[in-house]
Chain A
Amino acid sequence: MGRMINVRIALTAIVILLVQAVAATTPANGYPQTWENIDYKRRVDVSKSYLQETAEIRIKNIDSIANDKYYFALPSFVAETLSYLSASLKDVNAFIDSGIVHDQPASEENSLTFALITLPASVSPGDEIDIVVRFAHNTGRRPFPERIALGDRQTMLITIDELPLSNYETLHYSIEFSGASEFSHQASENSKLAPVSTKGGLALKTSASIPPFEPSPIFTISYPHDGSFPRVNNLERGIWASHWAETLQFEEYFELVNDAAPLESGFSRADYMKKQLALKKGNHLATLEIPLPAEASDTYFTDLVGMVSTYRVFGDRLILKPRYPLFGGWRFNFTIGWTNALSQFLHESKEDETYILSVPILDGPVNTFYDNVSLSVYLPEGSQVVQVESQIPFHAQEVSHKKSYFDLREGHTKISIQYKNMVDDLSKGQLLVVYKLSSQSLYKKPLSIGAYIFCALIAFFVLKSQ
């Protein structure tokens, strides 16, 4: 219990996409110029199937009073697929408050989205502080050339703003790319950046001052990427708690698509076999690796036409081989499920028959981006939800009922929560459900089933005796 609460505190601190509307009146040109970016280091990591960006900014208070609110700007098209955004102080291993500001100032051309970062303590005028903002999103990347032949090398292209988009003036700026064996870039003609030599990857920098909201030239980075880009359109994750069976059953329905470069002509199995592509790494998705909670049992893998026999469980990892290798643009919907002991996730509070269920929000394949996640927790019939806490901010929440086996009254209590733009990294997040379940309703079910069967037997006896 103690360990769990620690985890909980640590994770609640990642208040990602915090749903809090900050009422603010701002000028059309953004928020007041209270800060100055002394040094803005931007890093873009392309190794995963989504883009991970880090902005390491040294900021200086140029206002006349002490301030603790820093506005971080993002282009809206990035914000649309923004998965998480977290802020921390450099060299301090703790997260600080950050969240998307929903009341946006109306801006002219490209609309902006702001995240408000609240520093743990106000910074006096003239003082400096280092903040780190990390976020992941799934925009601005496409294969080039758009279609490739079977077994060809895949090159990806990122189009990205060359300059930082900021509410404040930036004095020094550098951008760095990592996560691929080589990068080549095409700078625009009026580029202000100069390349810097780095070990691996690509880095550019400038020492010229950049005014706030400076329109940025676009530049294009291309890099080889010999891997797939799994993306889950929809994930329907169901978690069934059973007090009688002492189990927690998981069932996940995935709508998976591979965002890699599609084939330029049809799929030729002969070529696939001759080039032995099944054994080579390529942009096709031949297997999926899914980390399962410890001691998961009764694993299964099915799809809309029945069981898929090609899967293996190695310890706590589930390795799936879809019916066919997923080339670029190909889809595959499937369902997996497993069972865990309830005691791994459930904690009973001593007083008034209250239970606390703490379940991971995600368990899906590694290196995956999720557009929509719908998480449903099914509690035993007759339980009352006291509180629901998600460490990852959600989109919508609902408590309803769902009839399942031997539900003779209103059915299982169902809590469904919708998430958007999730990534596999967030699977550490937990959902906490506090609910009440009286022992009366726990025993009501077997007793009523027993009574029905008894009545049936008596009826048979009476009918036979006549």
Chain B
Amino acid sequence: MKEATSGTLYWVQTLLKIAIFLSITGAAVSSRLFSVIRFESIIHEFDPWFNFRATKYLVEHGFYKFLNWFDDRTWYPLGRVTGGTLYPGLMTSSAAIWHLLKKVGLPVDIRNICVLFAPAFSGVTAYATYKLTSEIKDSGAGLLAAGFIAIAPGYISRSVAGSYDNEAIAITLLMVTFMFWIKAMKTGSIMHSTFAALFYFYMVSAWGGYVFITNLIPLHVFVLLLMGRYSNKLYASYTTWYAIGTLASMQIPFVGFLPIRSNDHMAALGVFGLIQIVAFGSFIKSQVSWEKFQTVMFVSLAFLLVLGVSGLFLLTYFGYIAPWTGRFYSLWDTNYAKIHIPIIASVSEHQPTAWPAFFFDTQFLIWLFPAGVFLLFLELKDEHVFVIAYSVLCSYFAGVMVRLMLTLTPIICVCAAVAVSKLFDAYLDFSFVFQKSKNGARKFDKDAIFTTITRTLVSGTFVAYLFLFVYHCTWVTSNAYSSPSVVLPSRNPDGSPALIDDFREAYYWLRMNTAEDAKVASWWDYGYQIGGMADRTTLVDNNTWNNTHIAIVGKAMSSPEDKAYEILQAHDVDYVLVIFGGLIGFSGDDINKFLWMVRISEGIWPDEIKERNYFTPSGEYRVDAAASQTMKNALMYKLSYHEFPTLFGQQEGIDRVRGQTIRAEDVGDLDYFEEVFTSENWIVRLYKLKDRDTLGRDLKSASQFDRAAARGTKRRVSKRPQLELRV
């Protein structure tokens, strides 16, 4: 696309571009609103609940109190230094928007800002992608890329309305940073690289995935150096970016001195050093003869390599540089987490990606992606090297971890846009029809007709593909990525739509009807939700910073009632919350997650908890009569199935998730816990720890006595009084 610089054409182009961007933003935002329209303006899933809670705290207490926030309502009794262990970028952004809107007379509720944050930023992402792709190819490809990224399900999966997570803003910042980096690298402009550094800082403040930028830009520079493409522009942009970016990133409390201590950041430092040497070398090269320079280069390179590697090794060995983190190892060895860190492996988004997921998330872009990379290879300008490095690196990561599909999607969109735009450049060009031949008459020969037909055919096919893509994206967004998972859709007996709202029912019951400082023990998945919706103190939550503490809850859940009672009492627990899907067939319940609880606590107490004991002798995981005795005695089993069989009239109940029969005698009685609330569809069950017996008995014998007494009363009542006279 040729760009006019002045005159009417310029304004027409500007107007068209604005119109196109408004439509793209409109499409991006509206396709993310399925959940708001179908359900309501609600925060989704788990982590967003924490971010929402933190944002509310920030808005209420101000920035400095937020940075110094010590949260005593989670990880009881340890608490969490929340202000120092989170990425504040997301919360500060939405708080800033909240304040800004308030200033201009729009006091929007903070919840609505949080819910609509991700859709709003997806529009910005589209614009940044447009700018980036324009740098790579031209603005035609840019518009295509913007259109792709706006509706690609791979990105939508983390940015629907209500999905108020760090990724919502991180992808935007990723694209903006890269856009500025490409500009800086092309022009050597200090301003652009400063902007790149500032957005890098913003990214650091928003998402742990900033490490991706920290490594990708140095990799780009490194590859360019290896290709012998060193230039002063590259030097100026990289050193500016690195110096400002690193210093700025160290201002984030959670990051602190990591940029100079952690292995994740060493590549950037190494390349920074390397580029100094290369700069020095190129200076020398311009001063001395080629032979002399070669000798100097080889000697110094070998020396530096040895020094660098041994220095890194020694510093790591003596603990000055932090070794790689567990998540990093699991990037290289997909089995690493399963063996060493079950808590990472227990999260479904850390599993390797299945092949169909690529097509599901990007549809026809996935096969245009390699084509685009190949086309860039043909040209191989400096900025193309960046895209190629990004593509290769991210393709691998996306294959290892499902959630990294998110970082791959933008580059897929860029490459696919390059491919499609190249194709359209050639095949949408019908100008020859209007060209006049040399003799002045219009030319309608065979060639022209065939060219017209082939061009119409090819571009028609691709327009159809684009149409299918839009259709697919809408379908995927609507069906797969728009469920808040707090509320489940269902149907009334008469077929009208209804909602299963058990989570909020139980959380709200907790919030309304328990003491404000009550402590709730549950599996860590529900920690953030309990904090956000029930506003009660939790033992563990989705932050998972303390594996031992999680293992304590896991141990309590997998122990028999009396042991569990001791553990929970020692931690001041008042209520225990379990998720049970057996009644309506909700498969994400605690019995299905139970093995992870067992595994995690086995990691800490291998003598007391053994995974093997929870299986049947034939190695099956069962909950019916054939279940092992350890399983039947486990607190989780008892709390899940308490009174469940009695609901079915006879002594057996059918668990609809596992399709097994639960017998009343397997579940037994509860001696140490008392049911206080169960939600309408039994998804959430709440139990209270009984108070210690006033007569000093242990709770088991006290409960047995009470039950016997109750049976005795019944028997006595049913007995007729004896009235016959004894003489």
Contacts and interface: CB of A to CB of B under 8 A. Distances in A.
A267 B677 contact: yes
A324 B643 contact: no
B687 to A, nearest CB: 8
B105 A333 contact: no
Contacts of B679: 269, 324
Contact of A324 (B39, B498, B505, B644): B505
A406 interface: yes
Nearest to B501: A309
A406 B533 CA distance: 31
A407 B104 CA distance: 8
B677 A323 contact: no
Interface stretch (A156-164, A176-184, A299-307, A347-355): A299-307
Nearest to B43: A306
Contacts, number: 83
Interface residues of B, number: 36
B651 interface: no
B272 to A, nearest CB: 37
A324 B677 contact: yes
B504 A323 contact: yes
B564 to A, nearest CB: 18
B106 A406 contact: yes
Contacts of B675: 266-269
Interface stretch (B260-268, B375-383, B508-516): B508-516
Interface residues of A, number: 31
Contacts of B647: 270, 273-274
A272 to B, nearest CB: 8
A331 B513 contact: yes
A309 B678 CA distance: 19
A324 B512 CA distance: 11
A394 interface: no
B646 A266 contact: no
A314 interface: no
A307 B43 CA distance: 12
B674 A265 contact: yes
Contacts of B203: none
B42 A403 contact: no
Interface string B635-665: 0000000011011000000000000000000
A240 interface: no
Contact of A323 (B40, B41, B509): B509
Contact of B14 (A268, A269, A464): A464
A271 to B, nearest CB: 8
A266 B680 CA distance: 15
A271 B642 CA distance: 12
A405 B504 contact: no
Contacts of B687: 266
A392 to B, nearest CB: 29
A406 B105 contact: yes
Given A267-B677, A268-B678, A324-B677, A305 B14 contact: no
Contacts of A305: 504, 507-508, 511, 533
Interface in A310-364: 310, 323-324, 329-333
Contact of B512 (A268, A332, A406, A407): A332
B676 interface: yes
B508 A323 contact: yes
B73 interface: no
Contacts of A306: 40-42, 504
B68 to A, nearest CB: 27
A405 B498 contact: no
B646 A274 contact: yes
B270 interface: no
B499 interface: yes
A404 interface: yes
Given A307-B42, A323-B508, A266 B105 contact: no
9 closest residue pairs by CB, A with B: A269-B678, A266-B676, A270-B643, A307-B40, A331-B512, A323-B505, A305-B533, A266-B674, A406-B105
Given A269-B682, A307-B40, 10 more contacts: A265-B674, A269-B678, A269-B679, A270-B678, A304-B511, A307-B39, A331-B512, A332-B508, A407-B105, A408-B105
Interface of B: 14, 39-42, 102, 104-107, 498-499, 501, 504-505, 507-509, 511-513, 533, 643-644, 646-647, 674-680, 682, 687-688
